[in-house]
Amino acid sequence: MSTTTLRAKTPPGFRVDAAALSPAALASMSVAEIERIVLPAGNERCVVGDVFEVSRDDAPASGDDMATLLIDGAARWLDRLGAQMDGGRLVARGAVGDYSGFRMSGGLLEIDGDAGHFTGCEMRGGRVTVRGDSGDFAAGALTGDMEGMSGGTLTIHGNAGARLADRMRRGLVLVGGNAGDFAASRLVAGTVGVAGQLGAHYAYAMRRGTLLLAQRPEGLPPPTFTGGGHGFDVFWSLLIRSLAAEIAPFSQWRADRLPVRFTGDLAVDGRGEILIAG
Pick the closest to residue 80 from 44, 140, 29, 121 (CA basis): 121
**pLDDT > 70 fraction of the chain, expressed in percent and rounded:** 97
Q: Tell me, yes or no, whether 89 lies in a domain.
A: no
CA distance 229 to 156: 29
Q: Is 52 within a domain?
A: no
In the predicted model, what is the mean pLDDT of residues 38-53?
Answer: 92
**Any domain includes 94:** no
The residue with greater pLDDT, 57 or 90, is 90
| 63, pLDDT greater than 70 | no
The predicted model scores a pTM of: 0.95
111 confidence band (pLDDT: 50, 70, 90): very high
Query: Is 166 a member of any domain?
Result: yes
Q: How many domains does the chain have?
A: 1
pLDDT computed for residue 230 by the predictor? 77
Q: What mean pLDDT is reported for the chain?
A: 94
pLDDT tens per residue, range 197-206: 999 999 999 9
Q: How many of the other CB atoms lie within 10 Å of CB of 146? A: 10
Instruction: Confirm whether 148 is domain-assigned.
Output: yes
Confidence class for position 245, pLDDT limits 50, 70, 90? very high
211 located within any domain:
yes
pLDDT digits (tens, 9 = 90+) for 143-169: 999 999 999 999 999 999 999 999 999
31 in a domain, yes or no? no
Does residue 78 belong to any structural domain of this protein? no
Residue 60 is predicted with a pLDDT of 58
pLDDT at 62 over 60: no
- Give the torsion through C-alpha atoms of 231, 234, 235, 238, to 10 deg: 170
What number is the average pLDDT over the span 74-99? 97
Q: What's the domain range around 245?
A: 114-276
Q: What percent of the chain has pLDDT over 90?
A: 86
Number of Cβ atoms within 10 Å of the Cβ of 58: 8
Q: Where in the chain does DSSP place strands (E)?
A: 3-8, 16-17, 38-41, 44-47, 52-57, 68-74, 78-79, 86-94, 106-111, 127-130, 150-156, 170-175, 191-194, 210-213, 226-227, 260-264, 272-276
The better pLDDT of the pair 45, 123 is held by 123
What confidence category does residue 135 fall into, taking pLDDT thresholds of 50, 70 and 90? very high
